[in-house]
Structure 1
Amino acid sequence: MTITSTTLDDTARGLLFTEARTANSFSDQPVSDDELRGIWDLARWSPSAANGQPLRVLYVRTPEGRERLVGHMSDGNKAKTASAPAVAVLAYDSEFHEHFPTTFPERGETLREVFGGMPAEARGDAAKYSAAIQTGVFLLAVRAHGLAAGPMAGFDGPAIDADFFAGTPWRTHLVVNIGHPGVDPWFDRLPRIDHDVAVSWA
């Protein structure tokens, strides 16, 4: 297969980057299950160390599930999570190495043994690092579907784990509200670090 190099036009760049914003309120326009599946179908192509792919996603859709999740959010985030049409709890799989025979067939058994022999804390750090990379791509995938993402770190992670992931190796990483922007959804755009401050050349 031949891949032809191309670039995104200004509209696509705006959708994904320059015009994209974190939404703080959402309309009641629903987000479909097909859209949520489509988000993952894009996000799963993200890079990760040794193709370990530790990111996991729980889509919270039911009123009962929403009520449980809201109870674990910080006070400043409860209303936003309660009003979002869909919420994704992003987690990392602390036993992601068990999937190496699938994700890296040529070296799967070797990698499973190497990572399996690590202390659990070191393996968890590796999972969190790759999941963070994948999380960035997940947010771009939300935007690519014409939706707004509201990532939030204000939550009780161990409580979410106990409530939703008990008996599994999944550990909460980030909560992301997903939907169409509502009334006055944006805070004022804050400045970005200038090129001369952030970039050096060698």
Structure 2
Amino acid sequence: MTKQFHDRPLGDEALDQIFREARSYNGWLDKPVSEAQIEAIYELAKMGPTSANMQPARLVWCKSQEAKDKLAEFASENNKKKIRTAPVCVIIGYDIDFHEELPWLFPHTDAKSWFEGNEALRKEGAARNSALQGAYLMLAARSLGLDCGPMSGVDLDKVTAEFFADEPRVKADWICSIGYGDATSIFGRSPRPEFAKFNRIA
């Protein structure tokens, strides 16, 4: 039976770690991230909801220096060092043909038929839901005591061609360095708006 967590909010220490005190890091301490940690991040992130459990994200974890150097070649000048010096940098891509996996991912109904013959709908769903998965991935990493440095300043076509060459229906979307953040690499937190600025309750 599924556990219920109603009226059991996380404590302030956990909320600080995941949200309030978490930052996007530009530099990294010389401390490795293991393959076991990478797998632990994924095992948490995969539990986040996606439409019809479509799970469109396809991830490449650049852990070797060779892979990080290759990825950095396609990055803007400001992002090259952030990639090369990170313990790991993950490429978040999405599979336009994610619907082929729906018979086992969402077996309750014929969800595959919803998307067959409509690539525009698949691209829209894949992009939105893989972005959600990337956000879950960041929350998972933070929950496990790691820091993140998300980036979009890369040539996505070149990243796609290099890292998803054997998966022609997968497109790179953004990247995120993960490790133990160097506090000297960040500046003061940018402003965050109060509720009333961008919210309304209808």
Residues 148-199 of structure 1 show CA distances to partners (whole Å, capped at 9, x for unaligned) of 1000000011101111101312211111001101250222111101111122
Q: Is the 8 A contact 2:148 2:181 kept in 1?
A: no
In the alignment, structure 2 segments of 5+ residues that lack a partner are none
Letter in 2 for 1:184: T
Aligned residue number for residue 101 of structure 1: 103
Shifted more, 52-61 versus 120-129: the winner is 120-129
SS in 1 for 2:193: coil
Letter in 1 for 2:177: N
Aligned residue number for residue 201 of structure 2: 201
Aligned residue number for residue 4 of structure 2: 3
Matched, 1:79 2:64: no
CA distance in 2, matches of 1:4, 1:69: 41
In the alignment, structure 1 segments of 5+ residues that lack a partner are none
Q: Is the 8 A contact 2:94 2:126 kept in 1?
A: yes
Residues 96-131 of structure 1 show CA distances to partners (whole Å, capped at 9, x for unaligned) of 101101111121xx221221221x233111100111
Aligned residue number for residue 123 of structure 2: 124
Shifted more, 192-201 versus 75-84: the winner is 192-201
TM-score (structure 2 length as normaliser): 0.94
Aligned residue number for residue 180 of structure 1: 180
Alignment RMSD (CA, Å):
1.2
TM-score (structure 1 length as normaliser): 0.94
User: Which of 29, 41, 44 is the aligned partner of 2:43?
Assistant: 41
SS in 2 for 1:27: coil
Aligned residue number for residue 166 of structure 1: 165
Letter in 1 for 2:196: D
Aligned residue number for residue 15 of structure 1: 17
SS in 2 for 1:57: strand
Aligned residue number for residue 31 of structure 1: 33
> What is the number of equivalent residue pairs in this alignment?
199
CA distance in 1, matches of 2:187, 2:101: 41
| Shift in Å, 1:91 | 0.7
SS in 2 for 1:105: coil
Distance 1:49 1:4, change over 3 A: closer
